[in-house]
């Protein structure tokens, strides 16, 4: 027994146990991964190997060109928050949807989706729209359950609708094309918005007291609200449309987006030096956190690879005899459970390096052609399809207990609604998210057809 624990694989399992324990004890995920990875490599190969890795590992990780897109998109989102883009989007959406019963809640979902497309961060989307839409929903006498549940769930749309920081990180981990991932995320993102709108319509139909009757805006008010949001939509079209059209890669697109958002704020006199400085500091803090997590994930991956944990997981999957789709569903369920314990970015960095080799193996190892692939697709297509599925279930972690980061954010903004009521308000959206996963599992073409269409 002692020999087993001191073997490389045994050390890998012990490292996994202590990593989970440190996370439960609320140690920051980056430090937990660095600690476990560093001690693990030292025990396996000695301190000289660990110190030699430290000399080049940080530079090797942080000098990846594709990573430069992360702080740029973060800065674009920070500036968009400072200049009040979320408010303009909500008002425009309400101008067109406000006449429906539950229209203000539907407007919040539409605004969350559009703001998430500019911002790329779920927490930032939830925070911004919570400040903008929650007071309006409360003023209109929406039930606290529906109001907070809608905004908390709507915030998760920012993780998938491009540009998405988490999507960029996933693409870097599995060596996928970022542009292709952005293309693949668009249709599932639109499906999410439509399903959320249907969920609200069903809730207010079954429980009419949760949303009051509303009246539509006048024609002139609708035109004014629409005109105010046109620059925001134009910025989105230039940034994302330019990427889809192949005019530029994500990094220059993000730089263009930062310039356009800043210019828009200056023209409208909604951006001053203090706001710009605050946006830069917010971006630096968030980017620093992301980069430190990336470093920790790489150190942990090195340790686990040397211990043989990913290889053992892939071998188990092959030898289990389970159908490939069953293994995929098990991995997705594991992501949902882990999402209850940690934030989305940490989960992608921690889990995907171990889950992805398993899927490659059950799909037929090194893919040579259509025949024999368990999922009926190439490794490249599987990479895209699994990425979208993984991000969707990661979204669920943002609105599920006990962590539920979006729920904590919205509960902090709504003093009159208990967190338990917010979780109840999320249930319809959680249900349609599971429906979306089932739909994409049954019809992978919903993910893959747009990249194939645009890339020929």
Q: Tell me: the pLDDT tens digits for 30-57?
A: 888 889 888 888 888 888 877 887 778 8
What local confidence, expressed as pLDDT, does residue 197 receive? Answer: 94
Instruction: Provide the percentage of residues in the chain whose pLDDT is more than 90.
Output: 16
Alpha-carbon gap, residue 125 to 82, rounded angstroms: 12
Q: Give the pair of three-digit tokens for residue 423.
A: 């979780």
Segment among 29-33, 215-219, 305-309, 398-402 with least mean pLDDT: 215-219
**Mean pLDDT across 386-398:** 87
Q: What confidence category does residue 428 fall into, taking pLDDT thresholds of 50, 70 and 90?
A: very high
What local confidence, expressed as pLDDT, does residue 25 receive? Answer: 82
For residue 175, pLDDT over 80 is answered with: yes
What local confidence, expressed as pLDDT, does residue 4 receive? Answer: 45
What local confidence, expressed as pLDDT, does residue 370 receive? Answer: 45
Nearest to 296 by CA among 119, 78, 35, 109: 35
Classify burial at 216, counting beta carbons within 10 Å of its beta carbon; exposed 0-12, middle 13-18, buried 19 or more. Answer: middle
For residue 199, pLDDT over 80 is answered with: yes
Predicted TM-score (pTM) of the model is 0.86
Q: Give the pair of three-digit tokens for residue 359.
A: 């899927």
Q: For residue range 88-130, what is the model confidence (pLDDT) as tens digits?
A: 888 888 888 877 888 889 989 988 888 877 776 777 788 888 8
For residue 222, pLDDT over 70 is answered with: yes
For residue 379, pLDDT over 90 is answered with: no
Q: What confidence category does residue 219 fall into, taking pLDDT thresholds of 50, 70 and 90?
A: confident
Q: What confidence category does residue 372 fall into, taking pLDDT thresholds of 50, 70 and 90?
A: low
**Mean pLDDT across 10-23:** 82
Alpha-carbon gap, residue 232 to 26, rounded angstroms: 38
**Mean pLDDT across 5-23:** 77
Residue 281: CB atoms within 10 Å: 11
Segment among 4-18, 139-153, 174-188, 223-237 with least mean pLDDT: 4-18
Q: How many Cα atoms occupy the beta-carbon half-sphere of 261 within 13 Å? A: 31
- Give me the phi and psi of 27, to 5 degrees please: -70, 140
Question: Does the CA dihedral 324-325-328-329 come out positive or negative?
Answer: negative
Instruction: Provide the percentage of residues in the chain whose pLDDT is more than 70.
Output: 94
DSSP H/E element including 223: helix 219-236
What local confidence, expressed as pLDDT, does residue 365 receive? Answer: 53
For residue 324, pLDDT over 80 is answered with: yes
- Radius of gyration of the chain from Cα atoms? 23
Distances (CA, A) of 32 to 50, 134, 263, 349, 441: 16, 36, 41, 13, 33
Angle at 226 (CA atoms; ends 220, 232), nearest 5 degrees: 155
Alpha-carbon gap, residue 153 to 145, rounded angstroms: 12
What local confidence, expressed as pLDDT, does residue 366 receive? Answer: 42
More confident residue, 201 or 158: 201
Alpha-carbon gap, residue 167 to 164, rounded angstroms: 5
Q: How many Cα atoms occupy the beta-carbon half-sphere of 436 within 13 Å? A: 30
For residue 312, pLDDT over 90 is answered with: no
Q: For residue range 272-284, what is the model confidence (pLDDT) as tens digits?
A: 888 889 989 988 8
Nearest to 217 by CA among 93, 319, 364, 337: 93
For residue 313, pLDDT over 60 is answered with: yes
Alpha-carbon gap, residue 426 to 283, rounded angstroms: 29
What local confidence, expressed as pLDDT, does residue 256 receive? Answer: 92
What local confidence, expressed as pLDDT, does residue 259 receive? Answer: 93
Output the average pLDDT for the chain: 83
* 309-317, long-range: CB < 8 A, 24+ apart: 309/9, 309/12, 309/13, 309/16, 309/354, 310/353, 310/354, 310/357, 310/358, 311/357, 312/9, 312/12, 313/354, 313/357, 313/358, 314/357, 314/358, 314/360, 314/361, 315/361, 317/358, 317/361, 317/362
């Amino acid at each position: 027994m002692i020999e087993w624990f001191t073997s490389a694989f045994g050390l890998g399992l012990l490292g996994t146990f202590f990593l989970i324990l440190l996370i439960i004890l609320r140690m920051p995920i980056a430090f937990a991964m660095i600690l476990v990875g560093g001690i693990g490599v030292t025990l396996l190969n000695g301190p000289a190997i660990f110190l030699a890795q430290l000399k080049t590992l940080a530079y090797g990780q942080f000098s990846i060109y594709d990573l430069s897109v992360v702080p740029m998109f973060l800065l674009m989102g920070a500036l968009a928050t400072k200049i009040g883009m979320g408010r303009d989007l909500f008002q425009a959406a309400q101008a067109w949807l406000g006449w429906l019963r539950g229209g203000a809640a539907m407007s919040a979902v539409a605004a969350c989706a559009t703001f998430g497309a500019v911002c790329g961060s779920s927490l930032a989307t939830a925070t911004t729209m919570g400040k903008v839409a929650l007071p309006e929903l409360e003023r209109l006498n929406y039930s606290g359950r529906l109001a907070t549940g809608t905004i908390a769930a709507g915030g998760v749309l920012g993780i998938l609708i491009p540009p998405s920081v988490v999507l960029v990180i996933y693409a870097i981990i599995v060596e996928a094309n970022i542009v292709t991932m952005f293309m693949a995320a668009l249709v599932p993102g639109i499906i999410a918005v439509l399903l959320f709108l249907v969920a609200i319509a069903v809730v207010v139909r079954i429980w009419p007291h949760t949303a009051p009757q509303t009246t539509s805006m006048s024609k002139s008010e609708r035109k004014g609200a629409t005109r105010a949001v046109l620059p925001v939509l134009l910025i989105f079209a230039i940034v994302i449309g330019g990427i889809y059209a192949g005019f530029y890669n994500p990094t220059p697109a993000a730089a263009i987006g930062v310039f356009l958002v800043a210019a828009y704020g200056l023209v409208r006199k909604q951006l001053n030096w203090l706001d710009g400085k605050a946006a830069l500091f917010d971006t630096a803090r968030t980017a620093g956190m992301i980069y430190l997590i990336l470093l920790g994930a790489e150190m942990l991956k090195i340790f686990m690879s040397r211990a043989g944990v990913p290889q053992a997981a892939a071998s188990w999957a092959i030898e289990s005899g389970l159908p490939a789709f069953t293994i995929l569903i098990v991995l997705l369920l594991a992501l949902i459970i882990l999402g209850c314990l940690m934030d989305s970015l940490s989960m992608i960095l921690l889990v995907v390096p171990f889950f992805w080799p398993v899927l490659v193996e059950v799909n037929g190892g090194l893919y040579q052609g259509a025949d024999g692939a368990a999922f009926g697709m190439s490794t490249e297509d599987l990479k895209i399809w699994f990425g979208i599925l993984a991000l969707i279930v990661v979204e669920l972690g943002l609105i599920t207990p006990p962590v539920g980061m979006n729920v904590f954010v919205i509960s902090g903004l709504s003093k009159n609604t208990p967190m338990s009521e917010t979780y109840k308000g999320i249930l319809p959206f959680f249900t349609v998210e599971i429906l979306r996963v089932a739909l994409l599992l049954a019809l992978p073409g919903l993910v893959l057809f747009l990249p194939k269409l645009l890339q020929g």
